[in-house]
Amino acid sequence: MNRPSFSTPSAVWLWRVSLILVILAISLIRHLNVLSVMWVYVVWFGSGLVLGILVDILDKRVLLKKYQDPQATSTQPVTSSLLFYLSLIPLSLFVITSSGSALGAGLILGLWVAVLSDFVTAPNSDFIRLNYLYQLKRPLTDVQTTWLIRGGFFWLLLLTILAMF
């Protein structure tokens, strides 16, 4: 299955900014009646969204050079590993439902925005397998990759709804 190529840097940022705006819009709609009191929540939440994306960028551009083994032929960033994704699922549910922190909720949602924008802007399923799901023993098919991305968006929507209540 050939997917349209969204792999340009501007497309990645377009996805990230649009997802952040949707999440912020949902947050504002939820708190519209008490916005004069809750503006601090929206500021902390928005700051967390930006910090979540910055964590992903810093890991891929700066921190990778710090923990990269010189003898290794290829080292992947921590935020691109399957173990990171699997640990992010229960961690995100805990932070969103139990912490009560707007900054923490925004940080987790920002990480999910970064992960999903990377998946959506990947040129094909092989690129996703080689760069993000390289720890899997068997490759995913195009249909499985599509369902993985859909499931990620559903999880992000669910977390966004949980964060607002």
124 in helix, strand or coil? Answer: coil
Specify if 85 maps to a domain.
yes
pLDDT tens across 87-99, in order?
A: 999 999 999 988 8
Which parts of the chain have pLDDT scores under 70?
Answer: 1-11, 27-38, 72-74
> Is 128 part of any domain?
yes
| Number of domain units in the chain | 1
Q: Which pLDDT value is given to residue 94?
A: 92
Q: Evaluate whether residue 132 is within a structural domain.
A: yes
Domain assignment present for residue 3? The answer is no
Q: DSSP per residue over the chain, as a string?
A: -PPPP--SHHHHHHHHHHHHHHHHHHHHHHTGGGHHHHHHHHHHHHHHHHHHHHHHHHIIIIIHHHH--TT-S----GGGSHHHHHHHHHHHHHIIIII--HHHHHHHHHHHHHHHHHHHT-SSHHHHHHHTSTT-SSPPPHHHHHHHHHHHHHHHHHHHHHHH-
Maximal CA-CA distance, the chain: 58
Residue 123: domain span:
9-164
Return the pLDDT at 74.
64
- Asked, for residue 4, whether it belongs to a domain, the answer is no
Q: Is residue 1 in some structural domain? A: no
C-beta separation of 1 from 142 below 8 A: yes
Res 1: pLDDT = 47
The whole-number pLDDT of residue 45 equals 82
Q: Does residue 74 form part of some domain?
A: yes
Read off the tokens for 33. Answer: 């009646």
Task: Determine, yes or no, domain membership for 2.
Answer: no
Q: How far apart are the first and last CA of the chain?
A: 39
pLDDT value at residue 27: 67
pLDDT, residue 91, reads: 93
